[in-house]
A and B are shown apart, each in its own frame.
Chain A
Amino acid sequence: DQQVKQNSPSLSVQEGRISILNCDYTNSMFDYFLWYKKYPAEGPTFLISISSIKDKNEDGRFTVFLNKSAKHLSLHIVPSQPGDSAVYFCAASARQGAQKLVFGQGTRLTINP
């Protein structure tokens, strides 16, 4: 049972435009969400996170939005750059299991020049 789902395996966006990556979750106990970015032959690197007490968190070109009622979060990248081409993983954790992290399947983002 996939508790964190990224339903788009891939996404292609033109350089300079907005990239929107989506993530849905089913476990209502999740209260902390993270996005990780992964280049080929490397380990994932942390990008941005959001607590359930917020609905938006921004860090430079990256913004994460959380819609708790819909159990949905999204990552916006504006403007998209070629170096953003990577696989993006959404992940979630629950306060009572804060040592465990559940990942989505990942979305491969390609930024076209």
Chain B
Amino acid sequence: EAQVTQNPRYLITVTGKKLTVTCSQNMNHEYMSWYRQDPGLGLRQIYYSMNVEVTDKGDVPEGYKVSRKEKRNFPLILESPSPNQTSLYFCASSRGGTVYNEQFFGPGTRLTVL
């Protein structure tokens, strides 16, 4: 089954404790992206990657890091989480290098930073 998976689905952590949210897709997609969803703000793009070893900032990259060492994986790293990073996070992937193609989203990761 074609899908985007994220782990963990739920996470409660404390300020400053490094964490990684994993994202994996099995569709051989070139493009992957991370979004956060907050009430009243919709989804905002954090980082995206057009292919292996190619990443770039979205609209809200501060406090986040990403890497794309393999085509299927695109982990999101929070080196020192803060309460304002409490949010619902989505990973997405699509074929090709643009958002013009349909993006497939993962089920989301709800993160709470205390």
Which residues of A are at the interface with B, using a C-beta cutoff of 8 A?
Answer: 2, 4, 6, 32, 34, 36, 41-46, 49, 89, 91, 93, 98-106
Contact = CB atoms under 8 A, between A and B. Distances in A.
B48 interface: yes
A41 B107 contact: yes
Contacts, number: 67
Contacts of B33: 99, 101
Interface string B8-23: 0000000000000000
Interface residues of B, number: 28
B43 A99 contact: no
Given A43-B108, A45-B105, A99 B98 contact: yes
A4 B48 CA distance: 19
Interface string B21-35: 000000000010101
Contact of A100 (B42, B58, B107, B108): B58
B102 A100 contact: no
B32 to A, nearest CB: 10
Interface of B: 4, 31, 33, 35, 40-45, 48, 50, 56, 58-59, 90, 92, 97-100, 102-108
A12 to B, nearest CB: 19
Contacts of A89: 42-43
| Listed residue (A36, A46, A99) with the most chain B CB atoms within 10 angstroms of its CB | A99
Contact of A106 (B42, B104, B105, B108): B42
Nearest to B58: A100
A6 to B, nearest CB: 8
A98 B58 CA distance: 11
B59 to A, nearest CB: 7
